[in-house]
Structure 1
Amino acid sequence: MRTELDQVGPRLRAARQSRGWTLDDVAARAGLSASTLSRLESGKRQASLELLVPLTRILGIRIDDLLPAETADPRVRRAVERRDGMVIAPLTLEHAPVKTYKITYAPTTVVPAPRVHEGYEWLYVLSGRVLLVLDSTEHEIARGEAAEFDTRLPHSIRASADGPAEVISIFSAAGERIHTRVTDS
């Protein structure tokens, strides 16, 4: 099983090599034998502060530079929002460049007012049917079908009256702000 300390030696070697220095160059400056430095870089000798402090000073790096960066948790843990007959579940991290949501539309016969804004939207129907009104033309999009459109065209989306619809929607950043945030308009 690999540990974070297993990366100290290879990172130390990379720092030395990036400067074009030999084992003898660095070892002499740090007051170590070349064999001790070689064993440290290859992982055959355990790293200690006594060895690392002079080496990092000579190489112009921090001890933290020898350890792997903490990996961020990739899981999306954002709150589901319920609004206007929809359940909006975020599927991407908050600062992702493209936003993806699973949206469940309640069945309805009421056609929402069309919206116009900057951006693009891509949607895929997981279950049910949605009615997309795009530039005054209604398009029925059934389970397993997808649509892509420029949100600068007047548009609205709703589930058909015969049941709910689950959709994966992908928005450009501009489109996401309009569709998933509560606005004053």
Structure 2
Amino acid sequence: MNVTPEDVLAGVGPRLRALRRARNTSLAALAGETGLTSSTLSRLETGKLRPTLEQLLPLARAHGVPLDDLVAAPPTGDPRIHLRPVRRSGFTVVPLTRRPGGIQAYKVIYPPAGKSPTTTLQTHDGYEWFYVLNGQVRLVLGDQEYQLGPGEAAEFDTRIPHQIGSAGTQPAELLTLFGAQGERAHLSPPSTLGTGPGRLDARS
């Protein structure tokens, strides 16, 4: 199946949204970095506005990625994903999915505690699930604080003020699933769902 220019441009919005959210950057802050209005940025991310080169160039600079990463279509029929880490705000995000929309998967690497910039609690639309691969993770969720180790998982509504980072002297590595529209990751049969050891479930 041939990849048309429309197909390529249809994937730009979700990529822009994923890059911005990976940086924990608001539309207003990104507007200040790029000179584009918040309204324009929102319409680009939702696909309501066809992107132009004049818009994509400042966005690529702001997100610290090559322009090709914003517009390149994957090879037709090739299931392999070419991983391109994005380093922002002291941590590294590796996108693991390439299809637009739906639940997006990432590997996130947080530097050792005390070696990343201090950030405030974040809020945004969506639902997040993560699984700790290595290291110790500190999760602040509202007025509660949790510490998770390898093999433990958490899921929460991202409209709840939250912050994630390493809790130890070594980097923390997470596998993260994020649904911008609030999609949840259904990883267990309904009969086994429930808060228990190794699983944190927070709902608004």
TM-score, reference length from structure 1: 0.53
**Contact map agreement 1:111 1:156 (CA 8 A) in 2:** no
| Cα distance in 2, alignment partners of residues 158 and 117 from structure 1 | 17
Question: Which of these two proteins has the greater Rg computed from alpha carbons?
Answer: 1
Q: Paired residue for 1:112? A: 119
Q: How far 1:97 sits from its partner (Å)? A: 1.8
Letter in 2 for 1:157: I
Alignment of 1:72 onto 2:53: no
**Contact map agreement 2:137 2:165 (CA 8 A) in 1:** yes
**Contact map agreement 2:136 2:168 (CA 8 A) in 1:** no
**Contact map agreement 1:123 1:168 (CA 8 A) in 2:** yes
Alignment of 1:152 onto 2:140: no
**Contact map agreement 1:105 1:158 (CA 8 A) in 2:** yes
| Cα distance in 1, alignment partners of residues 139 and 124 from structure 2 | 16
**Change in 2 beyond 3 A, CA 1:84/1:71:** closer
Q: How far 1:111 sits from its partner (Å)? A: 5.0
Aligned length: 106
Letter in 2 for 1:89: V
Letter in 1 for 2:106: Y
Q: Which of the residues 74, 87, 90 maps onto 2:95?
A: 90
Q: Paired residue for 2:149? A: 142
**Contact map agreement 2:112 2:172 (CA 8 A) in 1:** yes
Letter in 2 for 1:101: Y
Letter in 2 for 1:148: E
Unaligned runs of 5+ in 1: 1-69, 176-185
Q: Percent identity?
A: 43
Q: How far 1:112 sits from its partner (Å)? A: 2.4
Q: How far 1:87 sits from its partner (Å)? A: 1.2
TM-score, reference length from structure 2: 0.48
Unaligned runs of 5+ in 2: 1-74, 183-204
Q: Paired residue for 2:189? A: none
Q: How far 1:93 sits from its partner (Å)? A: 1.1
Alignment of 1:1-185 (within 5 A): 72-95=77-100, 97-109=102-114, 111-174=118-181
